[in-house]
Amino acid sequence: MTASDTTSTTLSGIGVSPGLVAGPVARMAPPIPEPEIATLEPSRDIEKECERIALAAQQVKKGLELSAAEAKAEARTLLETTAQMAADPTLTSTAQAMVREKRLVPERAVWESAGTLASMLESLGGYMAERTRDVQDVRDRIVAVLTESPMPGIPRLPEPFVLVATDLAPADTALLDPEKVIAFITSEGGPTSHTAILARALGMPAIVGTGEKVTDALAEGDIVLVDGTKGSITLNPSEDALRRARELASRVRVFNGDGATKDGHEVQLLANVGDAAGARSAAEAGAMGIGLFRTEFCFLDQPEEPTVEAQVEAYQGVLEAFPGKKVVVRTLDAGADKPLPFLTDATEANPALGVRAYRTTRRDPEVLDHQLEALAKAEAATEAKVWVMAPMISTAEEAEAFTQKARSYGLKTAGMMIEVPSAALMADKLFEHADFASVGTNDLTQYVMAADRLLSSLADLSTAWQPAVLRLIGTACEGASPKGRPVGVCGEAAADPALAAVLVGLGVASLSMTARALPDVDAVLKSVSLTECQELARIALDAATAEDARSAVRAKLPILEELGL
């Protein structure tokens, strides 16, 4: 790959996954075109056409399930969710009704049925609105089968490339191969979307929310330099810029399992995991423990609650990867973006503010009882040190009730997630009961800024660099300090090396992130003292805007430039 003689042009978007890479552009195949409004010829058998719809949907579902079976935890969940949508009877039955009543051709009936379903989900907002992308993806796949068109998806090219698209369906994101797709750029999307989160898990530089003008300017085969940290795209980069990118790519940083600042202040650097395979990978990456074990994988796609025995087996696989080390387990975070048929209400008007996470105990406390029993048995069978916490704790009463219940099952260390502003503001009272807390910056930011974190148009509000969010994290740490309770961060903010230094300055004791981010965060923390972290925190808190905070802090960390961050 060589630089072009053409003048370089710098374009920008929202950097959501760090890294600096260069490569040729490969544009996502154009979407399936909208089928024409057409009716069946009189000779066509209506019931056979209806059967074609059902068979096409079943074919799409099976294809997604096969891909899910071969995927890793995060990707598997996304693919299974899309497969569920392909099996949704609302989509197919409505399309079949249109064939019977209007004699629409099957592909047009599926298109209109999907449009109705997507509009309904969009009107619900929150997680349900996010599912519209799944509906559109499934629609395109079914129409492709019906019309014998190429299936939409990631380009298949022999050489590595930078993928450019309007947006990526969850199923497409889940199938990204880091050996071929070295970075991606989308005109839509936000910093905490599932696409962004998965990019970070893959260690793939990514820029989203660029707008159509930027993606339209990138033609097939153009050489681009993608800086996922700064959110910049250099079209036709100079040879010097390409050489710099190659040098940075050749450097391999590893984490030695010793998280601390320059002056020896310990900071536990932990990993976020979703299953046993993820836990083993985190251990291999040197993580000092697990700071967030998402237990939802044991419950997702289950028509009914799994047995205690099944849960014990699943949890043991994770705990065994970290003998003698801390494993922070989040109890079931059902609802909102993780609905469960046996526990949550899919018709809730606003699931993000509804009966989700710990609140599900209000109507079905037995599910938590069974989970705590299983966790206690799994801990007893391994050498890991289990710390258990409940998501979406809002009041001191909830903190007391949960911690007492956890201890009654023999789980000695019980705490809470701080995701609701009230929990941060009342932290001093909640820490009268909780042994520790972990800040979930994704949801906390959404609730503090009153901004749906999935909307690309509000991406500037959906960042933990917002001074209001940082002030609340500081308040939580202040509430914990007199009682000697540790506060960690397990949201996406922990993986931002510059923000990690700010969080340590605010009083955060541990940072939990995707294992791929551990070396970068460790390198930055080892370049600063605790006093310097506290000064960085002061700078961020005094800033008027998120961008001011980020820019001012980064200006004080020259190591970021050295590391290509």
Contact (Cβ atoms closer than 8 angstroms) between residue 487 and residue 431: no
- Reported in sequence order, the residue ranges of 20-160 that DSSP labels E, i.e. its strands, are 20-27
> One of 194, 298, 433, 477 is an active-site residue; which one?
194
Say how far residue 343 (Cα) sits from the centre of its chain: 22
For residue 248, count CB atoms less than 10 angstroms from its CB and return exposed for 0-12, middle for 13-18, buried for 19 or more: middle
CA-to-CA distance for 394 and 405, rounded, in angstroms? 17
For the record, the structure tokens of 448 come out as: 């503090």
- For residue 457, give every residue at least 6 positions away whose Cβ sits within 8 Å of its Cβ, in sequence order, or none: none
For the record, the structure tokens of 228 come out as: 């996922």
For the record, the structure tokens of 396 come out as: 């001191």
Contact (Cβ atoms closer than 8 angstroms) between residue 390 and residue 430: no
Contact (Cβ atoms closer than 8 angstroms) between residue 228 and residue 19: yes
Do the bridges between strand 223-227 and strand 232-235 make them parallel or antiparallel, or are there none, so unpaired?
antiparallel
For the record, the structure tokens of 98 come out as: 């249109």
> One of 50, 477, 490, 533 is an active-site residue; which one?
490
CA-to-CA distance for 352 and 52, rounded, in angstroms? 37
What are the CA-CA distances from residue 491 to residues 135, 416, 463 (Å)? 28, 14, 11
CA-to-CA distance for 20 and 105, rounded, in angstroms? 48
- For residue 231, give every residue at least 6 positions away whose Cβ sits within 8 Å of its Cβ, in sequence order, or none: 12, 13, 14, 15, 207
Question: Is 490 assigned a catalytic role?
Answer: yes
The region that residue 189 occupies, defined by phi over 0 for left and psi between -120 and 50 for alpha, beta otherwise, is left
Helix 441-449 to helix 467-480 angle (10° resolution) is 120
Give the DSSP letter of residue 230.
T
Contact (Cβ atoms closer than 8 angstroms) between residue 136 and residue 152: no
CA-to-CA distance for 538 and 471, rounded, in angstroms? 10
For the record, the structure tokens of 351 come out as: 């699931």
Residues involved in catalysis = 194, 490
